[in-house]
Amino acid sequence: MIAEALGGKRLLVTGSTGFLGTALVERLVHSVPGCEIVLLVRPGRRSTAEARVRREVLRNDAFDRVRARLGDGFDDEVARRITVIGGDVGTDGLGLDDAGRAALASVDIVIHSAATVAFDSPLDSAVEVNLLGPSRIAETLRAVGSTAHLVAVSTCYVAGNRRGRSPELPLRDQPFTPDVDWRAEVAAARRTRADVEADSRTPDRLARFQKGARSELGAAGVPLLSSKAERLRADWVADELVEAGRARARSLGWPDAYAYTKALGEQALLETRGEIPVTIVRPSIIESALLEPRPGWIRGFRMAEPVIISYARGLLKQFPGIPEGVVDVIPVDLVVGAVLDAAARGSEPEPTIVQVASGAVNPLKYRRLVDLVQSWFGEHPLYDTKGRPIIVPDWSFPARGKVLRQLDRASKVLDRAETVLAKLPLRGTQARWSAQLDETRTDIDRALGYVELYGAYAETEAIFQVDRLLERWSTLDDADRRDFAFDPRVIDWTHYAHHVHLPSIVEHARVRTTAAGTNREQRSTRLRRQVLSPDRHIAAFDLENTLIASNVVDSYSWLATRRLPPDDRLKFVLKTLSEAPGLLALDRRDRGDFLRHFYRRYEGAPLAQLEEDSRELLSGLILTKGFPAGWRRVREHRALGHRTVLITGALDVVVEENLRPLFDEIICARMAVAPDGTWTGELDDAPPTGEARALLMQEYAEAEGLRLEESVAYADSASDLPMLEAVGFPVAVNPETRLSAIARKRGWLVEQWAKSPGGPRPLLPIGPISRSLVRR
């Protein structure tokens, strides 16, 4: 009945790039060969709606069985049956052009599955998409003269935090539903956005964002710091709107902004639909497929997966919930069957509501779910970074407030520890302490977010009735029951958990499922192979703390103390050490300002003497403090035919003659020379630091016909971020604290290179130059 009823029909589907929408499109292509499909998709910033469908929908593994059946005819089939139009349900008129409106006017059925499904969506975006989206579709259908049947996907959780039976009725016909004017809620949400945006631009707020950017990136340069400050501002606005949505939802008895805006969206649709026939389908928590398109198929992580994986990794020791409560889960293919059944039945005189849930007829109790998860991971444990199996804990069922307080206390302890570590000059292996602390903080924040987002759902005591769903099921013939199943009573929860859902989410989570020492390639090995691929174009290196354990202070000290008597050397060392905190603070604020300030010390230094003595600098400083693995890496790149480039704030007299044989290009600082042959203490050009490095690399690549996206950069500090971000293959070498955390988050290759053992380790490198360099 269903395939025949939909055969010859033209169906428009929204939300096809999402989990449910992809499954709907695949089932229509596979099981309803006689229908045509129109997909309304929002264009991306850099891609058309058609490109998004090809990339995000048709290439998804949901279509594997269709590809297997059609073979080379797959592309022709989808081209014949699927039309894509650009549009946006978050915009009045759906953002349609003339062709889009014509396509909408031609459809017989609209299946609206587009939604902002995140439980922590900002209030205004949830209102625009979830609340206003369904009524916008109805309004636009009327505007093009269509009376197409609208099947709108909502959620069972529009019932809010009620206990007991929740029937398949409009909310206005159910007791204890808040009397809320949805139009007033829309206006208030839009005002809230405007107010928060204005607040984010006050001088005090902007100063905080700038301070936060500098705290995270250090002396990364004004453009990068400004971009980071703006991202922090946008993130703050989003966080404030998330909290505004959460607070408003809970004040009205809904668990979050998703359920709140979905509930008001139903009300708005029923009030404004006019003559448009409407069916509302309310699924509960949609999870991986029971059978179709294959057992365990899932797109992205849903609600339960992050919590389950965090538990299996030992990160989540406990989670709030009522052990005897029901976790109402429904596989996605059963929801697809119910939606297509609703579409096939056609319009009815009054709006119809169908709930697709398991709790009323095949309940999965929270304690049973925990037992199923614990027993499965007991037999199939995940492994930690040292290759040891993770023993999952016995999960208690505490109150949500208790868990939140425990996680909040742990978060505050980490805040204090991070504040202390951020002020220490850690780098390389030592910086791993900070990276590990940052990873722990991420785990705690993630657990805190899960409890805040999903805790209310684990405590739900509503039982969603499915009388109409089962009545419809009873009318289907055997063929429809096979091809469009939606009876929740068929689910065997033990089989579903142990053989379908848990194996699937572990596969998608990319977690360790085997002990260390297996033949699984290490991530660092894979990244290193990419870096040393013959396909790379440029290999750019920073010098200080990347190739040598030295800096401009070291080279100046070596040059300045040559031939000084012991007493003067001691005075020099003590004076330089006393200046170190101030120099370090200036370097952290702005690398360029630091170099200009420090190089003033070279004023009056004789250039001829410096050039002569720099030859001894190679053996006296560069080789003794160099990293052998770093020099080997430079040679490896040269052997592969890559252009090697040194970019450093060091002076030309230090690097040009000594390092020229290793590099095709050396970009460094150059001092102005006075008529008498001495240095002026002023640089000829701006020092190559911060964003200047990225621009110089870009200029070099363009001049040589090379591509930065195929190039590699090595550096040690967050001040080098513009250089690292400019290339396709960044490498953090002995990274200081900030860069270590950034590299870990972004998945960059991290190298730990050390000096040769046995070399001298003075506080300052002093050795046999002219007394004239020391300014008295």
pLDDT of residue 423: 57
Report the greatest alpha carbon distance in the chain. Answer: 103
d(CA 402, CA 409): 11
Indicate if 356 and 432 belong to the same structural domain. Answer: no
Give the tens place of pLDDT for each residue, 706-725: 999 999 999 998 888 999 99
How sure is the predictor about 516, in pLDDT bands with cuts at 50, 70 and 90? low
Indicate if 157 and 247 belong to the same structural domain. Answer: no
Is pLDDT above 70 for 9?
yes
Domain-embedded: residue 355: yes
pLDDT of residue 422: 57
Among the ranges given (315-329, 342-356, 371-385, 560-574), the one the predictor scored with the smallest mean pLDDT:
560-574
User: Count of CB atoms within 10 A of residue 433's CB?
Assistant: 15
Q: Mean of the pLDDT values across residues 390-403?
A: 72
Between residues 685 and 489, which one has the greater pLDDT? 489
Domain-embedded: residue 289: no
Domain-embedded: residue 676: yes
Cα distances from 61 to residues 70, 324, 530, in angstroms, run 15, 37, 27
Among 617, 640, 93, 150, which residue's Cα sits nearest to residue 348? 150
Domain-embedded: residue 546: yes
pLDDT of residue 551: 74
Domain-embedded: residue 703: yes
pLDDT of residue 763: 47
Give the tens place of pLDDT for each residue, 14-37: 999 999 999 999 999 999 999 999
Cα distances from 137 to residues 88, 278, 494, in angstroms, run 10, 11, 40
Give the tens place of pLDDT for each residue, 361-375: 999 998 898 899 999
d(CA 704, CA 694): 15
Q: Mean of the pLDDT values across residues 565-584?
A: 70
pLDDT of residue 447: 67
d(CA 190, CA 375): 48
d(CA 220, CA 718): 6
How sure is the predictor about 7, in pLDDT bands with cuts at 50, 70 and 90? very high
Helix (H, G, I), strand (E, B) or coil at 736: strand
Q: Mean of the pLDDT values across residues 158-165?
A: 87
Among 260, 240, 242, which residue's Cα sits nearest to residue 250? 260
387 is written with which tokens? Answer: 């290759």
Between residues 218 and 543, which one has the greater pLDDT? 543
Indicate if 263 and 200 belong to the same structural domain. Answer: no
pLDDT of residue 550: 78
pLDDT of residue 341: 97
Most confident by average pLDDT, 160-169, 326-335, 594-603: 326-335
Q: Output the domain CATH number for residue 36.
A: 3.40.50.720
Is pLDDT above 80 for 560?
no
Among 556, 485, 473, 477, which residue's Cα sits nearest to residue 770? 556
Give the tens place of pLDDT for each residue, 614-656: 777 766 677 788 899 999 999 999 999 999 999 998 888 888 8
Domain-embedded: residue 747: yes
Indicate if 673 and 597 belong to the same structural domain. Answer: yes
Is pLDDT above 50 for 770?
no
Indicate if 635 and 715 belong to the same structural domain. Answer: yes
Most confident by average pLDDT, 98-107, 519-528, 670-679: 98-107
Is pLDDT above 60 for 564?
yes
Domain count, the chain: 4
Percent of the chain with pLDDT over 90: 54
Q: Look at strands 149-153 and 109-112 and give their pairing.
A: parallel
At a CB cut-off of 8 Å and minimum separation 6, what does 455 contact?
319, 320, 321, 400, 403, 404
Cα distances from 319 to residues 146, 379, 451, in angstroms, run 49, 22, 7
Indicate if 383 and 509 belong to the same structural domain. Answer: yes
Rg over CA atoms, the chain = 32
535 is written with which tokens? Answer: 């396909």
Could you tell me how far CA 82 lies from the centroid of its own chain? 31
Q: Output the domain CATH number for residue 579.
A: 3.40.50.1000
Give the tens place of pLDDT for each residue, 109-118: 999 999 988 7
Residue 601 main-chain phi, psi, to 5 deg: -65, -20
Indicate if 315 and 335 belong to the same structural domain. Answer: no
pLDDT of residue 143: 94
| Residue 69 per-residue DSSP state | H
Indicate if 761 and 723 belong to the same structural domain. Answer: yes
DSSP string, 583-612: HHHHHHH-HHHHHHHHHGGGTT-BHHHHHH
Indicate if 258 and 245 belong to the same structural domain. Answer: no
Between residues 625 and 336, which one has the greater pLDDT? 336
Is pLDDT above 70 for 355?
yes
At a CB cut-off of 8 Å and minimum separation 6, what does 569 contact?
561, 766
List, in sequence order, the alpha helices (H) in 423-551. 431-458, 467-474, 478-483, 493-495, 502-509, 523-531
pLDDT of residue 517: 45
CA angle 617, 618, 619 (to 5 degrees): 95
Domain-embedded: residue 412: yes
Indicate if 510 and 623 belong to the same structural domain. Answer: no
d(CA 197, CA 191): 10
- State pTM to two decimals: 0.78
Indicate if 354 and 473 belong to the same structural domain. Answer: yes
Most confident by average pLDDT, 128-132, 416-420, 555-559, 659-663: 128-132
Q: What secondary structure, in 3-state letters, does 273-306 show?
A: CCCCCEEEEEECEEECCCCCCCCCCCCCCCCHHH
d(CA 649, CA 637): 22
Domain-embedded: residue 491: no
Instruction: For the chain, give the mean pLDDT.
Output: 86
Indicate if 416 and 533 belong to the same structural domain. Answer: no
Residues spanned by the domain of 218: 187-251
